[in-house]
Amino acid sequence: QRGLEPDIITYSALISACETSGRLSEVRALLFEAYSRGCFSNLRSVRGALDLHELSVPVARMAVRSALEERLGRISEEGQFGGSWASSNGDFVIITGRGKHSEDGDAVLRPAVLALVKDEYPNLGCWQDPTNPGVLVVDASSLRRARAT
């Protein structure tokens, strides 16, 4: 605490370590803290979509978890990211990118996010947009059903 401020690298490392050890509430708090300090500024709502470009896999997973929990009404509005995570039809749209900037040009975020939704939210319908391989869609009707339970 000698005048040093954590940066995006520090937050990414902390989030990764906490996620690996299963400390998800701490990860959420770190993500919101980092976001409020201007780190992960690219994490935003773009035309109703959650844009994960340039995020590490652990940070992207936590951003998706947090946004889904917000959509499902499981966490309070305090500390939410700015913006709305719904498209005009109520689907939750997640921009992962196509992997163009990943090592070897292979998508990293898309398979990680798909696995997260399948494993942690098995009742939600999630698929790759057939017109854009860099976009995932979580079905509005499955979100409504999950919110009602």
Position 112 scores a pLDDT of 94
pLDDT tens for residues 34-64?
A: 888 888 766 665 666 888 888 888 888 988 9
Out of 25-34, 57-66, 67-76, 92-101, least confident range: 67-76
Position 148 scores a pLDDT of 79
Position 124 scores a pLDDT of 93
Q: 3-state SS of the chain?
A: CCCCCCCHHHHHHHHHHHHHCCCHHHHHHHHHHHHHCCCCCCCEEECCEEECCCCCHHHHHHHHHHHHHHHCCCCCCCCCCCCCCCCCCCCEEEECCCCCCCHHHCCCHHHHHHHHHHHHCCCCCEEECCCCCCEEEECHHHHHHHHHC
**Regarding predicted confidence, which is higher, 18 or 79?**
18
pLDDT tens for residues 78-137?
A: 444 544 555 557 788 898 987 666 667 677 889 999 999 999 999 999 999 999 988 999
